[in-house]
Amino acid sequence: MTDVAVDEFMSNVDPTAREFLNDYGSERRGRAAAVTLAHFGEHYFHFCPGDRGGATNSSQFVNDLAITDAEFAFLLDVANASKHRDLTKTPRGRVLSIQSLTQIEVTTLGWGEASWGEGRWGVSIR
């Protein structure tokens, strides 16, 4: 990664994600973290021109990344729903994780509902 990309990540992405992790269950902080992380995909396209995987623009790069990584796809869908409220267009080559901002809600994880090491026991998540 270039110095500009590292600086962007360290000054914006990392602190926003940490704020959410320190206030797990905060919808506002969770959505802010999702937006910041999703936007970093577009920034990465511009900051790292040698590592674009054949994409010719940042939108294609981000969509291609979402096709290959389900967790990034979920972040991208949460970020887009936070901006548009309802998602009406399905990106090329993938299925939306959510279709509306109303699908983001407070809940808790039950036994076996998360991958090992993900989530927090007994804490609400969004």
Distance CA 20, CA 17 (A): 5
Question: Where do the structural domains in the chain lie, given as residue ranges?
Answer: 3-103
Asked if residue 24 lies in contact with residue 5, where contact means CB atoms within 8 angstroms, the answer is no
Q: Tell me if the pTM is above 0.85.
A: no
Residue 10 binned pLDDT confidence (cut-offs 50, 70, 90): very high
Higher local confidence (pLDDT), 48 or 11: 11
User: What is the secondary structure of the chain as a DSSP string?
Assistant: --HHHHHHIIIIIHHHHHHHHHTTT-HHHHHHHHHHHHHHHHHHHHH-TT--TT-SSHHHHHHHHHHH-HHHHHHHHHHHHHHHSB---PPTT---S-SBGGG---B---TTSS-TT-S-TT--B-
Tens-digit pLDDT profile for residues 89-112: 556 555 556 665 555 554 555 666
pLDDT(21) > 60: yes
Tens-digit pLDDT profile for residues 22-81: 887 777 888 888 889 988 988 888 887 777 778 888 888 888 888 888 888 888 877 877
